[in-house]
Amino acid sequence: MHAATSAKKQKEYIDKLQAEINVLQKKIGEDESAEAIVSRHINLLHCYNEAKDATQILIGRLAASKETTVRQIHVDMDLMDDQ
């Protein structure tokens, strides 16, 4: 905070931030730590990536057996990215 800010204003701001922290803590769980949330998220990303990799291997094998491209299999199965 700027030095010209009164102690009362600083206290109000700190109280507002603490209230926001309390609301967010209740959303994620009282005993849930940031490290546990990040760890769980990383594990979920690993699972997702493993499933995606396995799917791409299968799509590659399907493309080879149909003698077409992986891209064409994506088009045929409506798997194209909207980007």
| 21-50 per-position pLDDT tens digit | 989 888 877 777 888 889 999 999 999 999
Q: Is 83's pLDDT higher than 70?
A: no
Nearest of 17, 30, 51 to residue 59 by alpha carbon: 51
Answer with the residue of higher pLDDT: 80 or 56: 56
Tell me the whole-structure pTM to 2 decimals: 0.57
Q: Say yes or no: 20 and 50 in one domain.
A: no
Q: Say yes or no: 69 and 59 in one domain.
A: yes
Mean pLDDT of the chain: 89
Q: Say yes or no: 61 and 25 in one domain.
A: no
Q: Say yes or no: 40 and 67 in one domain.
A: yes
| Alpha helix stretches (DSSP H) within the chain | 7-28, 34-65, 70-76
Q: Is 52's pLDDT higher than 80?
A: yes
Q: Region 50-78: what's the mean pLDDT?
A: 96
